[in-house]
């Protein structure tokens, strides 16, 4: 059987932060490079069957950014401590241990282990282009061979391509995965979901809806918990996760029929769904993941005037009206 091995070096990391080597984070350039490489892999139909990554922060973040840009769930990523290495031997042992059911394997790791593994696997050192390294950050190597992973020997693999970020076109293809339009962000960014956290205040027919608003990331304006629909998650699941992270609330769906709206961001239309939820628990400020965001319960009728995103405000009022109709019908 023909096997394919994708070797990827982690994205550009930051040296200016006070962190040890294992916890060194990606720079913005590194995040974007990992995303662009993931989009390229999807466009070239090189989506792997299995993804193994070093557990170091910069490698793990590279894996997550790359995988989501391929339209895959981060659950596909398996962290392998052996891949946090400078020597190629642990990397090669990891490759040989791959099950026969995997045809295309992806490894995300570090230099010099990756370059040394490339030389061992092909039996020669490729000559890099002028003014660049053999494997700069976020580069991907595609190798192929016939046989079983466990039988892999030196010089057995053929080098098919070394793809470097600087050689990729700017932007991301739209529609995913191979559209001709180029957008500022990966395709999955343009599908988002939000929650409308609600509670009824008062008794009987006099009860009125209230809505929990949160501060934006900069706390300059009010918003609702909202985020990108993560690959592998439903819009509601993703929205409930945003509610936990941004607002510090646990919630349950009030109405599974979401209301759709759209708005402009990153130079193109973003399609979003708004889900009405009942707040069942509010975390204490000390428990919250993002305590810098303000929280405020407000009367339903003032929501549109407080939200900066007017399209979201209109959707919120339409969804509250639907909830009222449902309540009156029962």
pLDDT value at position 130? 74
pTM for the predicted model, two decimal places = 0.91
- CATH fold of the domain at 187-329: Nucleoside Triphosphate Pyrophosphohydrolase (3.90.79)
CATH class label, 2-183: alpha beta
> 278 near 254, Cβ under 8 Å?
yes
Residue with tokens 């700017």: 170
Distance (Å, whole) CA 154 – CA 54: 23
> What is the chain's pLDDT, residue by residue, as a tens digit (330 residues)?
999 999 999 999 988 777 899 999 999 999 999 999 999 999 999 999 999 999 999 999 999 999 999 999 999 999 999 999 999 999 999 999 999 999 999 999 999 999 999 999 999 999 887 767 899 999 999 999 999 999 999 999 999 999 999 999 999 999 999 999 999 999 999 999 999 999 999 887 788 999 999 998 888 899 999 999 999 999 999 999 999 999 999 999 997 679 999 999 999 999 999 999 999 999 999 999 999 999 999 999 999 999 999 999 999 999 999 998 887 776
Distance (Å, whole) CA 28 – CA 171: 14
Provide CATH 3.40.50.1240 ranges for the chain: 2-183
pLDDT value at position 325? 86
Tokens representing 96 are 């040989």
pLDDT value at position 330? 67
In sequence order, which residues have a C-beta less than 8 Å from that of residue 310 and are 6 or more positions away?
304
- H or E stretch covering 238: helix 235-242
Give the CB-side neighbour count of residue 134, counting CA atoms within 13 A: 17
Q: Is 193 left (phi over 0), alpha (psi -120 to 50) or beta?
A: beta
> 122 near 157, Cβ under 8 Å?
yes
Provide CATH 3.90.79.10 ranges for the chain: 187-329
- H or E stretch covering 58: helix 57-69
> 35 near 4, Cβ under 8 Å?
no
Distance (Å, whole) CA 201 – CA 298: 11
pLDDT value at position 198? 94
In sequence order, which residues have a C-beta less than 8 Å from that of residue 293 and are 6 or more positions away?
214, 215, 216, 217, 219, 246, 247
């Amino acid at each position: 059987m023909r096997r394919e091995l994708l070797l990827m070096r982690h994205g550009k990391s930051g040296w200016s932060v006070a962190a040890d080597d294992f916890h060194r984070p990606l720079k913005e350039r590194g995040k974007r490079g990992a995303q662009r490489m993931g989009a390229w892999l999807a466009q070239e139909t090189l989506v792997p069957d299995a993804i193994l990554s070093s557990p170091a922060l910069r490698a793990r973040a590279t894996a997550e950014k790359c995988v989501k840009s391929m339209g895959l769930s981060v659950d596909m990523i398996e962290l392998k401590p052996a891949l946090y290495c400078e020597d190629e031997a642990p990397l090669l042992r990891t490759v040989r241990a791959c099950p026969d059911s995997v045809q295309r394997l992806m490894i995300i790791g570090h230099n010099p282990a990756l370059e040394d593994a490339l030389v061992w696997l092909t039996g020669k050192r490729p000559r890099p282009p002028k003014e660049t390294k053999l494997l700069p950050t976020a580069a991907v190597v595609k190798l192929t061979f016939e046989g079983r992973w466990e039988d892999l020997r030196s010089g057995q693999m053929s080098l098919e391509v070394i793809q470097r970020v600087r050689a990729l076109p700017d932007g991301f293809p739209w529609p995913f995965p191979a559209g001709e339009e180029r957008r500022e962000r990966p395709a999955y960014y343009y599908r988002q979901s939000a929650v409308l956290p609600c509670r009824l205040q008062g008794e009987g027919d006099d009860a009125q809806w209230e809505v929990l608003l949160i501060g934006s990331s900069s706390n300059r304006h009010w918003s609702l918990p909202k985020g990108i629909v993560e690959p592998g998650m439903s819009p509601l699941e993703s929205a409930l996760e945003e509610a936990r992270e941004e607002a510090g609330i646990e919630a349950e769906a009030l109405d599974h029929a979401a209301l759709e709206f759209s708005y402009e961001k990153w130079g193109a239309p973003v399609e979003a769904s708004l889900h009405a939820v009942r707040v069942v628990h509010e975390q204490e400020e000390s428990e919250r993941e993002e305590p810098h965001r303000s929280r405020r319960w407000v009367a339903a009728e003032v929501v549109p005037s407080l939200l900066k995103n007017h399209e979201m405000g209109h959707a919120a009022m339409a969804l509250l009206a639907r909830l009222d109709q449902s309540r009156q019908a029962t």
